[in-house]
Every structure is written in C-alpha cells, then in structure tokens.
Amino acid sequence: MPTSVGAPRQLLRRLREVMAQQESAQARLDRVVVLIASNMVAEVCSLYLGRRDGSLELFATEGLNPGAVHNTHLKPGEGLVGLIAEQAEPMQFPDAQHHPAFSYRPETGEEIYHSFVGVPILRGGHTIGVLTVQNRTKRTYSDEEIEALQTTAMVLAEMIASGGLLTGEVSTEGRRELAASFTGLPLSEGVALGHVVLHEPRIVVTRLIAEDIEFERRRLLQAIEELTGMIDTMMERGDLARAGEHREVLEAFRMFAHDHGWRRRLDEALLTGLTAEAAVQRVRNDTRARMLRMPDPYTRDRLHDIDDLSNRLLRLLAGGVGTAATGSLPQDAIVIARTMGPAELLDYDRQRLRGLVLEEGGAQSHVAIVARALGIASLTQVKGVLETVEPGDAAIVDADSGELHIRPTQEVIAAYADKVRFRARRQAQYAALRTVPPVTLDGERIALHINAGLLYDLPHLDQSGADGIGLFRTELQFMISATFPRLEQQTRLYKAILDAAGDRPVVFRSLDVGGDKVLPYFRADKEENPAIGWRAIRMALDRPALFRTQVRALLRAAHGRELRLMLPMIADRSEFEAARKLIDREVTILKRHRRPEPKRLMIGVMVEVPALLWQLDKVLPLADFASVGSNDLIQFLFAADRGNTRVSERFDALNPAALKALRQVVEAAARHEVPLNLCGEMAGRPLEAMTLIGLGFRSISMAPASVGPVKAMILSLDAGALRERLDELLGSEKASLREDLRRFAAEKGVQI
C-alpha cells in the first residue's frame, strides 16, 4: 500500500481540522485514528497512551473491538506495543502473532490481523504512548509509510500535551512527573522553597502543520545560518564570559550545528508537511530518544547540547525570545539554567527571586559572587536537572547541604519548612549580635569587614554590623556593563559606596580583569592558563589609560575623605612601584588643577602570588596596608584551579603548608607595622576564620551573610589557647588539620 508524498501532508491538514472541532477529547481521538487508517489504507489504527503507573492503555481504535478502549492495559514492556514503548523506536512485524513478544488479548479481536507497525509517541525523548497500524495480510511497510506514521505521532504528542485532551492520570512527560533529587556545589548558602522558572524558556510549538513547505525550508535555513554564525563569531571573539559560556560548550554547539546528518533529518521532517519549528521538535525528540538509551555515558551527557541547540534554533524561529527575567515571574522563583553570566542574574526582580540552580559553572565564578551579593540560595554543577524539570514545578534548593529537590513529596516539604523556621531563628540570634563587638574571650578585638562589588551590597553593611568594606571588587561594575564605564559613571558608583560606608573604611581593589574575567566589550586573546595570564595589575601596567581613568574616578569620589586603594596580583616589587607612579601622576594632575583631594590616600598590596612571600620585606615598607587574597594564593600554592571541580577538592586550605605561608605574611606585616587583612573565602567559614585568628590575623573580610556566624565563633573563642594548639599542629605531616581543629573547637566550646 504505497503512500504518496502528498498523503502525509493531506493527513496533517485533516488532523488540524479535526483538532479544531468543538467536541470531546475522546471524540477527537476516535476521529484521528479513523483518519490515519484511511490515509495509510490500513484496517486497524490504534492509539495507546502511557499512564502514571507505567502501563499503556488503549485510548482509541479503528478496526479493533470498540469495547476494548480503556479496558485493555499492558504492563511496562508487555506485548509488541510495550516493546516499542521501551525501545522508543519504530518497529514492524510482517507476522506479528508469531513474534515471541506478542501478547494475546481476546477482548481486542486482533488475532485476525498479521502485519503490524508501531511508532513511539515521544515528548522530550521519553515515550508517552504508541501509535500502531495493522493489516490482515502479511506485508512489509515502506520507509515512507513509517516516516508518515512518525510525523503523525509527533503532531499527536504536541496536541496531547498542549491541548488538554487527557485526564490527569495520563503521563505526558514520562519521568518528569515523579519526585527527583539532585546534588550540586553551593554557590551561596541558604534554603529556598519555590517554583521553577527556566532562564531560557522553552518555546512551545503551537503551529505544527505547514502551509507552504518551501517557505518553511527558507525559514529554517535562515535560522540555521544565523545560529552557526552566532556560534562562530563568539568562538572567534573569545568573549565567552558575556553569556557565561564555556569554550567546550560552544565547541559542542558548533559540532552539532554543522552536522550534515542533523540538517538532513530536519529537511526530511519538513518534507512530511511539518513547520520549521515542528521539524526541529521532531528531530530533537527522535535524537533524544536514541541517546537516552545508549550505554555510553559520554553520549548521554551530550543530551543537553542537543536540547540547547534546539532551543536556540526555536528561539530564532520565534523571532528571538529573551530570558525569563523579562517576563512575569512567580513570587517564589527558582531560576534554573545551564549557565549564566553575572549581568543576566541582575536582570531578575530581586523581590521574586528565591533561588538559582546552574548545571555548569564553578563555585568561585562571577555569577556566584553576584548570587552571594543578592543573598539567594544557589547551587551549581547540578547535572541533568534541565532534562527533568518543567516550568512551574515545585522545587527546594538546599544550598547548605548542596541538595535540590524537584516535585518534592509533602513529607520533604514539611521537613524543609521546619528547617527554614530553624534558620530564621538562628538568623535572629545572629542579628541580635549586630551591635556586639567581636571580641574573643581573652580580649582580642577582631575587625570584621564585608566583601562587596555591587550597589546591592550596601545595605548589608548596616544589616551585618560589619566594621567596613574590606574588599570592594571594582571589576563587577565593568563585567555587568554593556560598554566600558566612563569616568563619570565610575565616579558616581565609588561616591555612593563611600557615602553608604560613612566613617567606616572601604578598600577598593583596582580593576582585576583579564584571564577568566573577560569583559564583553574588550577584545582579548585566548590564553592557555588565564588565571596566571594577562590580568589585574599586568593589564593595568600594559594599558595605563584604563588604570589611570579608574584612579582618577576614585580620587574624585573620595575628595575630603580617606581613600584606600589595593593593587591585585602583584608578583614583584617593581610592579607595585610602577603602579604607584601612575597613581602619583594622577594626584599631581589633581593638585595642578586645584581639584579637591582625598583627605588621606593609602595604597595597599594584595598578597596572592606566592613569589611575593619571599619579597615581603622589600614590598611591605612601600605599602600603607596589605591584604591576603587567600583564594588565589592557595590555589597557586597547590597548582590546583579552584574553579575546576576535578582538582579543587584535592587540597585543603587547612593544610599545614598553606597555614605556614599565611603565618609568614602575618609575621612580616608585624615586623613592618603594616595593617593586615585577609579577604578570601576562608574568612567566611567559622572553622577557617577561627584558624586565621590563631595564626595572628586581627582583621578579616567575608560575604555579608558570614558575619553573624563568624562573630558568634569569635565570642566563644580563647585566641591564646588556639595559638598554642596551632603551634603544636603546624609541625604535623597531615594533609589537613581540619579534624584536629574541629576537635579543639568541640573541647573548648567554640561555636563553629
């Protein structure tokens, strides 16, 4: 029974007419199977749909006993229909009754039919049903007939999922309806209960059947060319930080986008009568179904590349749809994305944003800094979450323990409601300490500062009761801006920061960009090792105009007040001297033009390059203060990239070698009577902060949310007793002193 090229298109047009009728869902399905049987010159056409228990139910038939509808159920994997659902691929049997998987059901009356062909009805690569055709004679169905049946199944899947045809007992998303749990790396601590919002919303394909095939081919070709052009341009420019992209992600996109097999399958889907959007959806479903069932884990990991590429193509076909930040958000949004840049996160309404979940990105990434500034519970490295969630799903982000729960049970929700109440009580206890000076039991006053980088951070200064801002990351303003911030813009920001701080000190770090902190408007060459490449003070000295503009803005903003400016990534005394000369030149220009000057100018050195550890006696006499950047210092000491999950856990900041290096800085600063601070992630964790105090640090800077817990630790600590214990422990050959320091805290009642 050959099927002409025009037959599938005619069937699709007639299906559209049926679905437009104002009648019951069952009546529509009954008419659909009649149409398919007629179009394929078949004696039987049956539609089976999956239920939430995994079984398949006969929902409509033409040719079988009508009494079998809703009364015939197949267990998962049972019969030829179950086999097709399980394998998620088309199958045909010229003599079905003699196949070992055949399951005889007397109520259907199908024993008189021999030839059988069935195709899975797919959504997101998961089988939600099976569409079958049968004939009395033993025969083999042509590839064209099977292709037509697959196209019809794809249209049915979209109509079933979006048209409200079925009862709540029917599963339209496979395993997406079940509770699911994931683990990830915390970006910003906290617990959030809310509902899923996809950062890049999935495009719902509503126009499935083409009016003009050639017009759809032109639309698709134009969208593919635009997509490949965008990817190639981003790869050539190297501005991956703008969208938070990783190079390997774009490489995967480019591989798929240029794949001839993928393009050929899209064209074949178009020829069956689908629109460009429906063709993309059809090929995505078929590809995902195959990849989900492959044993190779690497191949399965590429599923999200197919999804991302398809979504980008669908957005282009839809005219370029923006992110969810521009749409209407629920009151308790849990935003989920594959990856995201810091500027994109700032586009969201802070009053509605409760949590953030990323599939990719390091715990020290720039979006992580913004997430901590916003104070939202955030996780990264949550692999596979986008395959499982749907917009509107209930979700719980536990960034304290690194867990994500999708569609949680009532028991899980109740448990987390208790946890949220407990956290609220604990935060109230920390808030009560806001005005209490952080003094140890033996009378040591510890200065607690916050790290900042955005205007969003300013209220935290008062809320936390901090002594000041120990690190203001000036580069964040540059990273979230579409163009290089002009002198006036920079001046306004720095003045706002100083105004908010009042009499409290603010330490501005000069522009620390380059390496992995690529500005979207700044062309930079790809570097093999960006963390130790052309960045920070190195870029400032090579491009002095950028550095001098920032210094000029800081000097203007701080007129009549104290200005503290810290220079990052200093590896040699000569770099510090060269930077000071540029600063002195700007001060001279200010004096020459008789403009207001800062009341006091203090230039500090950031100790984060290990080479500086052996030059401290040469550099510290030139500096007005010093600050340890423990994040970089420790990753460089151990040659382990803190943003690389494969190696970031291979060392511990409480390793004796790292602690000896930190004590060396403390002793040198004391010798030269230079004020010293530490502004890395170590300072924000009570156990590590306790250790820093034992080493001799009396000023530390941290995320605002960490001030309360660290202050509670200080108030319960005897610094002298800890110093004595550390003197003993630093001679240890252990890879970490973490457990020894935990035991000390437990013995002495230190709150960590």
> Which residues are designated catalytic?
366, 679
The rounded distance, in Å, linking the Cα atoms of 238 and 522 is: 10
Q: Look up residue 189 and give its two tokens.
A: 């601590």
**Which residues sit opposite 117 in a β-bridge?**
92, 133
For 170-181, letters b (16+ CB in 10 Å) and e give bbbebebeeebe
Query: Interhelix angle for 303-317 vs 247-257, to 10°?
Result: 70
Tokens linked to 248: 């390997």
Helix (H, G, I), strand (E, B) or coil at 452: strand
288, amino acid identity: R
CA distance linking residue 196 with residue 69, whole number of Å: 36
What secondary structure does DSSP assign to 371-412, as a single string?
A: HHHHT-EEEE--TTHHHH--TT-EEEEETTTTEEEES--HHH
Strand ordering across the sheet containing 394-398: 180-183, 403-406, 394-398, 191-198, 333-337, 353-358, 377-380, 185-188
Structure tokens at 260: 């001839």
Query: To the nearest 10°, the Cα dihedral for 592, 595, 599, 603?
Result: -60
| Residues 466, 708: Cα–Cα separation, whole Å | 9
* CA dihedral sign, ordered 427, 493, 608, 606: negative
Which residue bears the tokens 């004590």? 663
DSSP letter for each residue of 624-683: SEEEE-HHHHHHHHTT--TT-TTTTTSS-TTSHHHHHHHHHHHHHHHHTT--EEE-SGGG
Dist. CA 198–CA 335, nearest whole Å: 6
Amino acid at 40: M
> Which phi and psi angles does 751 have, rounded to 5°?
-85, 105
- C-alpha 553/C-alpha 537 separation (Å) is 17
Instruction: Please name the helix (run of DSSP H) or strand (run of DSSP E) that holds residue 120, with its range, or none.
Output: strand 115-123
Count of Cβ atoms closer than 10 Å to residue 521 Cβ: 12
Question: How many of the other CB atoms lie within 10 Å of CB of 456?
Answer: 15
Q: Are strands 625-628 and 676-678 parallel, antiparallel or unpaired?
A: parallel
Which has the closest alpha carbon to 364: 131, 724, 61, 640? Answer: 640
